[in-house]
Amino acid sequence: MSEDVRRSSSRVRFPEISPRAYEHPVDRGALATLRTVPGFPAVLKAVAGAWSERGERLMALASAIRVGPSQYPALDRIRTDCAETLDLDTVPSVFVANNPALGAVTIGMDEPFIVLNTGLVEALDEEGLRFAIGHEMGHVLSGHAVYRTMLLRLINIQNSMGWLPVGYWGIRAIIAALLEWFRKAELSCDRAGLLCGQDPSAALRVHLMLAGGIDPSQVDIPSFLQQAREYESVEDIRDSLLKLKYVTDMSHPLAVVRAAQLQKWAASEEYRAILAGDYPRRDEDEPTSTWSADVKGAARSYKESWSASADPLAKVLGTVGEAVSGVADKVLNKFSSKEDGQ
């Protein structure tokens, strides 16, 4: 039996797994809140109609290499295996585009497809690629591609309409909300990538590469993860404000912090339970998750994060968040009791 076959047979598959099994609670809460932003449904509809997904797929077809049995066959095997691991109904198409950046993207509102940069394909080993492709499959299963595609399109609109102040700031507000959600969605899909590869060390190597680790053998892992702890434990409020300033416009979490977040989840009881087959199934999901449950879950996650942080601004936000959370619970409970009485 070949090494590839042995590894594949040793990995756990997750029939009918619900994306809620791996989604970060703030991902769901931020998306639920995003849907309440004034004008969001109208903007989503307008943006969906302004671009042709067919055209985007044709551009990928004409400018990149479509992965298949005869083109990048090793990537094709990983693509199929990741889709089977997460039990996707349809195996998404994957393209390799000529781009030196270490990146990948999942786009499309009706039939999402994945584009891998050549820089990523060249830099990662097989297990690293499994983590990266599994990450993108997580976006597909969670339905993130619709909002991710919207984000990319809105950024294009923003860049072309700076001359219209009212329109610019309206679009800017929705982009800011999308970016906050997407940073958390990336944490969710790192977890999906880990479920596909089931190798925390391979996932850590990918994060090392994203952070500048050209040769992982030259990086000391404890020192690397210590950087995340130092970043989280700044004692000067000015540093807290600078962190907030620089992160606001980012689409992805900072690489070192992101690595620490995933390694923490990899060591959790939640991750071990999923590997053991104890996870929510899609047929157990409600047709639509309630806004209150998702937002309360996000608030709880933020509160736990702020409580554990030594960052002075996080401490302040934690105190405020606890008070706001208490008020929110009262309001939500009030509405729930009204609904029960109807």
CA atoms of 171 and 43, how far apart (whole Å): 9
First to last CA, the chain: 63
Find, among 34, 14, 15, 78, the residue nearest to 185 by Cα: 34
102-153, pLDDT tens digit by residue?
999 998 877 899 999 999 999 999 999 999 999 999 999 988 877 777 776 6
CA atoms of 76 and 68, how far apart (whole Å): 5
CA atoms of 79 and 231, how far apart (whole Å): 35
* Whole-number average pLDDT of the chain: 77
Q: How confident is the model over 10-37, as a mean pLDDT?
A: 81
pTM, entire model? 0.75
Contact predicate 161/153, CB 8 Å: no
Find, among 302, 333, 304, the residue nearest to 33 by Cα: 302
Q: How confident is the model over 44-71, as a mean pLDDT?
A: 80
Q: Are strands 113-117 and 94-97 parallel, antiparallel or unpaired?
A: parallel
Contact predicate 328/295, CB 8 Å: yes
CA atoms of 121 and 297, how far apart (whole Å): 36
Q: How confident is the model over 174-178, as a mean pLDDT?
A: 70
The two structure tokens encoding residue 131: 């983590």
